[in-house]
Amino acid sequence: MKISYPISPQDAASHLSPTLWEKVNRQHLRKILAEFAHERIINPTLQTETNGWGQYQLTVPSNRQLTYLFNAKILALNHWYIAAESIQKVDQHGPLPLDSLRFIVEFNQEMGISQEMLPVYMEEVCSTLSGSAYTNHYGKASSPDLVNATYQQIEGTMTGHPRFIANNGRVGFDTADYKQFAPEAATPFALLWLAGSKQHAVYTGISNLSYQQVMSQELGKDLIEQFNKILTDRDLSPHNYFYFPVHPWQWFNKLANIFAPDIATGKLVCLGYSSDQYLPQQSIRTFYNISKPEKFYAKTALSILNMGYIRGLSPYFMRTNPGINEWIYDLIATDEYLQKTGFCILREVASVSYAHHYFETALTVDSPYKKMLACLWRESPASKIKEGQTLMTMAALLHVDNNGEAYLPQLINASGLTAHEWLKRYLHCYLSPLLHCFYTWDMVFMPHGENLILVLENHIPVRAIMKDIGEEVSLLNTELPIPEVAQRLKVQVTEENKTLPLFTQLFDSIFRFVAAILIEHADFQEDDFWQAVAQCILDYQTAHPAYATAYEKYDLFADSFHSDALNRMQLHNNKQLRNRNDPYNGRTNVGILINPISKFKNR
């Protein structure tokens, strides 16, 4: 009997061809060389220098006949700007094909990855390369086209984290899953809804949002009645259940088997699909309602391995997230400066978590098996903008299209501002509020590109919206009086490491890439970029003299700092990058980085 799959065997690999494979391997190897050199996993040696470009050589330790050659400029923060077309691999007989996986085979000892983890990491790299070939084969909007694109069109065009080498692993998805559920495939789908017995399911919402209100908005009267009938037809009372969405993949691949005891006894009931259609965000387990954008985002557990974590959802976090979000929202809403800058958060307003009582009872340690069944509802950014405003993920600032054209210069040109003027507006919207939260409450976010939404008017940033609050906010002042629900945000950090989140998340993970984009694609001067960052900080400090002591104690103009080595973290443990109880005192870093704004402190 012929087995039927959603796609044909040929379609599963139709995006893979010699020409594209050569292209994506060259681009990916450029990233490997740049980021591994940045983290000092590898140490290319300078051979000659011409017109500001260095010619570098990297020899394979286990075979001295194999050598990588390339041209590069080393920018601030040890950022390697490598000319992709210059990369060669040679042996005594001449040039060899460029191959990312072969590079990992050759340098896995220097990478420090264990033999047990190596094949999984290599699978993640295979998937990352395949995803890149997919977007090149099927095509995406060009950078000029994205200037006037919608929020979700931009979101679906992004190509992953700028630092991680294995940034689109999605280990667990098959090729049909990829085409259905990967953000870059952009195929709308319906979420699946379950009913969970209140014996094991817990609903939590912000103070003015009941479970009934969430259901009324997200499902509507007709679907609620339909789901109720499914239960009553089985002699079950809807009053004893909470309804909540799950990812279809999660149901078919995990829940229907692992939660079989609860399904068999009627504690967990499959209700059917939503009437609304969703698209996955870059984070892959968060979904934007394209049928009714004003409705909530839905975030669900998804037990696949992707970029350093199994993407489950902690029931404990889900129970406390709404309260944490409500407290931080109120804190921001009553702060005069943050209101003036327009900074706000997307509240995680409600959640349902369902505990697997066998795993919860048996396991005394943290485990992905405890995080398989939960959902979170988050406000939609569509509800946060005025007429004439548009939304854009900040990840777009680092985007380069299939033709090698960067998006950021296109956006700046469309704004009618000079690059200096545009940067000033952007930094005021993005950096200034983060400085204020740090110096006012010792509060730090994880404001990477995927977590930050920019609000634009005429292509100019006017305000910033922060998301992923409950899981990625830390309070570095353990003495600060806060509500009981927010106590888990407190993190013990040494005094010398308190500025590390700012240096790591802003300088090393966003700004060095923005600077490189402008240098490479807009002929912008590097010092001009970092002077703009420095000026933004100085302007904030001048406007808030009350924190003068803190400016000296937690000096962002320090001569140097250490930053997290994200790839080293992933190579050390590809299932948990950070210890959430001790996220900023780690020993894995890139070494000493010279602070590019230190020279502008007194200007």
Q: What is the CA radius of gyration of the chain?
A: 25
Confidence check: pLDDT of 465 > 90:
yes
Residue among 186, 195, 213, 196 at smallest CA distance from 277 = 186
d(C-alpha 159, C-alpha 3), whole Å: 33
pLDDT of amino acid 9: 85
d(C-alpha 73, C-alpha 391), whole Å: 34
d(C-alpha 357, C-alpha 355), whole Å: 6
Q: Which amino acid is at 411?
A: L
How many residues are given for the chain? 603
Tens-place pLDDT, residues 166-209: 998 898 999 889 989 999 887 899 999 999 999 999 999 999 99
Confidence check: pLDDT of 139 > 60:
yes
Q: Which two tokens stand for residue 560?
A: 């140097």
Confidence check: pLDDT of 1 > 60:
no
Q: Are 459 and 480 in contact (CB under 8 A)?
A: no
d(C-alpha 317, C-alpha 295), whole Å: 22
Q: How confident is the model at residue 7 (pLDDT cuts 50, 70, 90)?
A: confident
Confidence check: pLDDT of 105 > 90:
yes
d(C-alpha 451, C-alpha 579), whole Å: 20
Rounded to whole angstroms, what are the CA distances from 386 to 152, 293, 391, 487? 17, 14, 11, 35
Mean pLDDT of all residues in the chain?
93
Q: What is the mean pLDDT of residues 335-354?
A: 97
CB atoms within 10 A of CB 105: 13
Q: Which residues contact 392 (CB under 8 A, 6 or more apart)?
A: 151, 154, 453, 454, 456
- Domains in the chain: boundaries: 11-156, 188-378, 388-600
Q: Which amino acid is at 428?
A: H
Q: How confident is the model at residue 589 (pLDDT cuts 50, 70, 90)?
A: confident
Strand order in the sheet with 460-466: 344-345, 460-466, 452-457, 389-393
Tens-place pLDDT, residues 252-295: 999 999 999 999 999 999 999 999 999 999 989 999 999 999 99
To the nearest whole percent, how much of the chain has pLDDT over 70?
Answer: 97
**Buried-state track 384-411, b at ≥16 Cβ within 10 A, e below 16:** bbeeeebbbbbbbbbbbbbeeebbbbbb
DSSP secondary structure string, 437-465? Answer: HHHHH-EE----GGGEEEEEETTEEEEEE
328 phi/psi in degrees, rounded to 5: -65, -40
Higher pLDDT pick, 586 / 430: 430
Q: Are 364 and 124 in contact (CB under 8 A)?
A: no
Domain range 11-156, CATH class: alpha beta
Confidence check: pLDDT of 2 > 80:
no
Tens-place pLDDT, residues 363-408: 888 888 999 999 999 999 998 999 999 999 999 999 999 999 999 9
Q: Which residues contact 416 (CB under 8 A, 6 or more apart)?
A: 458, 459
d(C-alpha 553, C-alpha 499), whole Å: 10
To the nearest whole percent, how much of the chain has pLDDT over 90?
Answer: 82
Confidence check: pLDDT of 575 > 90:
no
Kind of pairing between the strands at 344-345 and 460-466: parallel
Which helix (H) or strand (E) segment is 516 a member of? Answer: helix 512-522
CB atoms within 10 A of CB 261: 12
Tell me the whole-structure pTM to 2 decimals.
Answer: 0.95
| 388-600 CATH fold | Transferase(Phosphotransferase); domain 1 (1.10.510)
- Give the burial class of 209: count Cβ atoms within 10 A of its Cβ; 0-12 exposed, 13-18 middle, 19 or more buried: middle
pLDDT of amino acid 470: 85
DSSP secondary structure string, 216-242? Answer: HHHTHHHHHHHHHHHHHTTT--GGGEE
Q: Which amino acid is at 134?
A: Y
Q: What is the mean pLDDT of residues 508-512?
A: 97
**H-helix segments, 147-190:** 151-155, 175-181
pLDDT of amino acid 403: 94
Q: How confident is the model at residue 97 (pLDDT cuts 50, 70, 90)?
A: very high
pLDDT of amino acid 588: 74
d(C-alpha 217, C-alpha 167), whole Å: 35
Q: How confident is the model at residue 582 (pLDDT cuts 50, 70, 90)?
A: low
Confidence check: pLDDT of 585 > 70:
no
d(C-alpha 418, C-alpha 115), whole Å: 51
